[in-house]
Chain A
Amino acid sequence: MSKTLVEKIWDAHVVKSEEGFPDILYIDTHLIHEVTSPQAFDGLRKRGLPVFRPKQTVATADHNVPTLNQLLPIKEELSRYQVDMLTKNCAEFGVELYGLGHPFQGIVHVIGPELGITLPGKTMVCGDSHTSTHGAFGAIAFGIGTSQVEQVFATQCLLQSKPKTMKIEVNGELGKGVGAKDIILYIIAKISAAGGTGYFIEYAGSAIEALSMEARMTICNMSIEMGARGGLIAPDQTTFDYIKGRKFAPAGEEWDKALAYWKTLYSDADAKFDSVLTFDAADIAPMITYGTNPGMGMGIQEHIPATGAQPEKEKLSYQKALDYMGFDDDSSLIGKPVDYVFIGSCTNSRIEDLREVADFVKDKRKADNVTVWIVPGSKQVEQQAKNEGLDKIFEAAGFQLREPGCSACLGMNEDKIPAGKYCVSTSNRNFEGRQGQNARTLLASPLTAAAAAVTGKITDVRDLLEKINP
């Protein structure tokens, strides 16, 4: 029978399937971090259980760590306690930890791929909704709650109903100044912040196939922002080339065996999806969000949609969002001053993102009214950036290169945007207060963020690219 890629991987991991019950799904790799694991470890203690497969569990500290002076003791008491608790729990239960100071430390969704832990055909979970990032390799990867973290600790399995499948095809060529982040913000704006709920999404089409692995991760990362549990992309030569030679990737005979299997991982030509959507890459402009959910995005030259044009029962919520942002409906954002630029998060903090920003800001300087933070996704990304001299370019531009962590994406550590201030952010959520109480977030690509940093206002990056390279 023809199968979609999701069905192929799912079926290969079903321990038991019984009518009237969710499937018992085997989990190959469990990633954990300091914020959503302590209550799960506590649960194990209460039940008197060990971690069933500690070797299939990997931990790092990322959500609640400082991004300056990481080798000093954490100043804030509750944060220090939480990070110490992870260290203690990992030691007690025999879980490998890449904590602060370790050369592999970083955002959990950045280190999995760069260490070769993330592989095609795997099932992977983490107590974090952006686990969908790993789907870029053709893996079933999704976020779970803490009760489920405990479940995977205890059994290496999850009770899960098989999801519906959706295919999103993006065909054609992207315009200048348009990248993976714009593709995903465009799709979310089209289908809304709830448009993918209940689905696993497979991204396909020539525009997706043309993307690098890191760009594909940006796409899959934001699947949850349309409500989808996960998103994935069939592995191809780009995937195999990226994985080969990485720290924990299979090697030698194991590599040949793995590769032969990975090459079977695609949706059969006549496989049936529950829903199929098609978009044209040429229609996509640099995107920016104007509201308080990731579905409230538009091409940067467009006007904010009129409140009057919203469905009657949505008008109140829509206007509430614009009031929070301090924007008028039916207005343009071009030229609007910004206060902060944040380049980081599991969406856009990889070396390609940093290279793209460095390439753009070389010989330029940030505007005086803007504070710019660049937070690399991992120690390895940070080191690579320094090896390539990107740190010097950032320094000359007045951008601050910090140490790895989730940082201002969720404002859990001290990296917060002050109340009322505008931040152009490469992260994934523009919810009220996400980056700090009453902070106002505009989601955009690294290039659009860099353009805002240089001009001090919302800018169509294509206008600047035109001047540099007409």
Chain B
Amino acid sequence: MKKFTKLTSAVVPLNIENIDTDQIIPARFLKATTREGFGENLFRDWRYENDNQPKADFVMNNPTYSGQVLVAGKNFGCGSSREHAAWAIQDAGFDAVISSFFADIFKGNALNNGLLPIQVSDEFLAQIFNAVDSNPKSALEVDLENQTVTILETGAQESFEINPYKKSCLINGYDDIDFILNQKQLIEEFEQAK
């Protein structure tokens, strides 16, 4: 799994609430049988017209905004469990997603792929959107080791929570399967005792 430690980047702001995984990657693009290539269809129907022309008013089509951090409104990633949503975001070049609330399954999927979901307060989220509003190049620093996000321009900082086990997985680049496989003996004992 991809490692994550520290990141300084401008952001792509998407100030919409309840963004569901059908918006992130519509079902008609789930026919692929590999993990690669979903990025080109990330937010497909918000990003492109039917004739594949980019929609000028969508943030990812605005060259003013760029960066490895996606910032979105609360309840990000709700709906379908499709991990393709996390793959698509990562494949499009993002390494972290910031919101004031994440849907459970999306959050787990992101963590299992080395895409860092960062939950901040509503107030801090508003501060990020404001900073980007006044200066689109406004950058954030994400520090996983210290569990902090900083708006570099204003110096405003907030710490975020992450399960300590998941944190070490991200920092070291190992995954749940590696972790459980090393304890297979326990599973077999559990089965016999059942």
User: Which segment, of B57-65, B76-84, B133-141, B150-158, faces chain A?
Assistant: B76-84
Contacts of A52 in B (CB 8 A): 187
If A15-B190, A129-B105, A147-B83 touch, whether A432 touches B183 (CB-CB below 8 Å) is no
Sample of 24 A–B contacts (CB below 8 Å): A15-B186, A16-B183, A26-B190, A35-B30, A35-B31, A36-B82, A38-B34, A39-B33, A47-B177, A63-B30, A79-B31, A81-B31, A85-B33, A145-B112, A147-B112, A155-B180, A155-B187, A193-B18, A194-B18, A227-B103, A229-B105, A293-B20, A429-B22, A438-B45
Task: Check A128–B78 contact: CB distance below 8 A.
Answer: no
Scan A289-317; emit 1 where CB is below 8 A from any B CB, else 0: 00001010000000000000000011011
Task: Check A317–B17 contact: CB distance below 8 A.
Answer: yes
Distance between Cα atoms of A156 and B186 in the complex (Å)? 12
If A227-B75, A293-B18 touch, whether A433 touches B26 (CB-CB below 8 Å) is yes
Scan B179-190; emit 1 where CB is below 8 A from any A CB, else 0: 111011011001
Give which listed residue, B26, B79, B104, B165, contacts A198 with CB less than 8 A.
B104
Distance between Cα atoms of A127 and B45 in the complex (Å)? 24
Task: Check A24–B183 contact: CB distance below 8 A.
Answer: yes
Within 8 A of A (CB), among B79-121: 79-84, 86, 101, 103-105, 108-109, 112-113
- Give 10 nearest A-B pairs by CB, closest first: A145-B83, A145-B109, A38-B33, A147-B112, A78-B31, A143-B81, A129-B81, A412-B27, A146-B83, A194-B75
Contacts of B184 in A (CB 8 A): 155
B26: min CB distance to chain A, Å: 6
Distance between Cα atoms of A437 and B73 in the complex (Å)? 23
Distance between Cα atoms of A38 and B34 in the complex (Å)? 7
Give which listed residue, A144, A147, A314, A431, contacts B113 with CB less than 8 A.
A147
A413: min CB distance to chain B, Å: 9
Task: Check A432–B22 contact: CB distance below 8 A.
Answer: yes
Contacts of B20 in A (CB 8 A): 293, 429, 431
Within 8 A of B (CB), among A376-416: 410-412
If A39-B33, A85-B33 touch, whether A154 touches B28 (CB-CB below 8 Å) is no
B74: min CB distance to chain A, Å: 7
A351: min CB distance to chain B, Å: 26
Interface residues on B, range: 35 or more
Task: Check A193–B81 contact: CB distance below 8 A.
Answer: no
Distance between Cα atoms of A49 and B189 in the complex (Å)? 20
**Chain A residue at smallest Cβ distance from B184:** A155
Contacts of A144 in B (CB 8 A): 81, 105, 108
Tell yes or no: B175 within 8 A of A by CB. yes
Within 8 A of A (CB), among B157-173: 163-165
A315: min CB distance to chain B, Å: 10
Distance between Cα atoms of A112 and B112 in the complex (Å)? 27
Tell yes or no: B8 within 8 A of A by CB. no
Contacts of B126 in A (CB 8 A): 313
If A145-B105, A412-B30 touch, whether A429 touches B165 (CB-CB below 8 Å) is no
Tell yes or no: B56 within 8 A of A by CB. no
Tell yes or no: B5 within 8 A of A by CB. no
Task: Check B165–A22 contact: CB distance below 8 A.
Answer: yes
Task: Check A431–B22 contact: CB distance below 8 A.
Answer: yes
A225: min CB distance to chain B, Å: 8
If A145-B105, A194-B101 touch, whether A81 touches B180 (CB-CB below 8 Å) is no
Task: Check B165–A20 contact: CB distance below 8 A.
Answer: yes
Tell yes or no: A332 within 8 A of B by CB. no
Tell yes or no: A239 within 8 A of B by CB. no
Distance between Cα atoms of A156 and B30 in the complex (Å)? 25
Tell yes or no: B51 within 8 A of A by CB. no
> Among the interface residues B86, B163, B180, B186, which one has the most CB atoms of the partner chain A within 10 A?
B180
Task: Check A148–B27 contact: CB distance below 8 A.
Answer: no
Contacts of B15 in A (CB 8 A): 316
Give which listed residue, B45, B101, B163, B165, contacts A197 with CB less than 8 A.
B101
A10: min CB distance to chain B, Å: 14
Task: Check B74–A194 contact: CB distance below 8 A.
Answer: yes
Tell yes or no: A371 within 8 A of B by CB. no
Task: Check A193–B180 contact: CB distance below 8 A.
Answer: no
Contacts of A155 in B (CB 8 A): 177, 180-181, 184, 187
A75: min CB distance to chain B, Å: 13
Tell yes or no: A246 within 8 A of B by CB. no
Scan A138-162; emit 1 where CB is below 8 A from any B CB, else 0: 0000011111101100111111010
**Chain A residue at smallest Cβ distance from B129:** A313
A236: min CB distance to chain B, Å: 25
B100: min CB distance to chain A, Å: 10
Distance between Cα atoms of A231 and B83 in the complex (Å)? 21
Tell yes or no: A434 within 8 A of B by CB. yes
Tell yes or no: A171 within 8 A of B by CB. no
Task: Check A154–B187 contact: CB distance below 8 A.
Answer: no
If A36-B83, A129-B79, A317-B16 touch, whether A197 touches B181 (CB-CB below 8 Å) is no
B132: min CB distance to chain A, Å: 16
Within 8 A of B (CB), among A37-82: 38-39, 42-43, 47, 52, 63-64, 78-79, 81-82
Tell yes or no: A320 within 8 A of B by CB. yes
Task: Check A317–B73 contact: CB distance below 8 A.
Answer: yes
Task: Check A145–B22 contact: CB distance below 8 A.
Answer: no
**Chain A residue at smallest Cβ distance from B32:** A78
Task: Check B79–A429 contact: CB distance below 8 A.
Answer: yes
Task: Check B165–A21 contact: CB distance below 8 A.
Answer: yes
Scan A169-203; emit 1 where CB is below 8 A from any B CB, else 0: 00000000000000000000000011001100000
**Chain A residue at smallest Cβ distance from B100:** A313
If A78-B32, A82-B31, A431-B23 touch, whether A159 touches B83 (CB-CB below 8 Å) is no
Task: Check A432–B180 contact: CB distance below 8 A.
Answer: no
Task: Check B28–A412 contact: CB distance below 8 A.
Answer: yes
B184: min CB distance to chain A, Å: 7
Distance between Cα atoms of A63 and B28 in the complex (Å)? 11
**Chain A residue at smallest Cβ distance from B103:** A227
A151: min CB distance to chain B, Å: 5
